[in-house]
């Protein structure tokens, strides 16, 4: 799986950076949100607790997906702004069990 960051937009009103990216995964199944999040964290060299992958839209038959992620400046802002279901889908299974 390969991640290409297309656009980074600073949003000072919401204290975040909005990231649009392409994900290429030729010959594999569409990657899970957590796999994409971990690859984005490695690519951008940021704290994984501050990054939320909002959506991932695969292109039919191409082995590509377009995605949208948000990088917050603090966990407090992330929890205040993001909806609960988005935060839950971006958590590791071990974190949910606690």
For 15-72, write each residue's pLDDT tens digit.
999 999 999 998 888 899 999 999 999 999 999 999 999 999 998 888 899 999 999 9
Return the domain boundaries, the chain: 2-97
pLDDT at 61: 83
Q: What integer pLDDT is reported at residue 77 of this predicted model?
A: 93
Note whether 40 and 21 are within 8 A (CB): yes
pTM of the model: 0.85
How many residues are recorded in the chain? 98
72 vs 44: CA distance, rounded Å: 13
pLDDT tens for 65-96 read 999 999 999 999 999 999 999 999 998 766 55
In CATH terms, the superfamily for domain 2-97 is: RRM (RNA recognition motif) domain (3.30.70.330)
Please, which residues bridge with residue 56 across strands? 67
């Amino acid at each position: 799986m390969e991640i290409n960051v297309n656009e980074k937009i600073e949003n000072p009103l919401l204290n975040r950076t909005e990231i649009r990216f392409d994900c290429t995964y030729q010959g594999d199944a569409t990657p899970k949100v957590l796999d994409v999040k971990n690859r984005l964290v490695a690519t951008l060299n940021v704290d994984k607790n501050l990054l939320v992958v909002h959506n991932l839209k695969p292109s039919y038959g191409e082995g590509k997906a377009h995605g949208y992620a948000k990088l917050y400046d603090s966990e407090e802002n992330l929890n205040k702004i993001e909806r609960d279901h988005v935060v839950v889908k971006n958590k590791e299974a071990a974190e949910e069990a606690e």
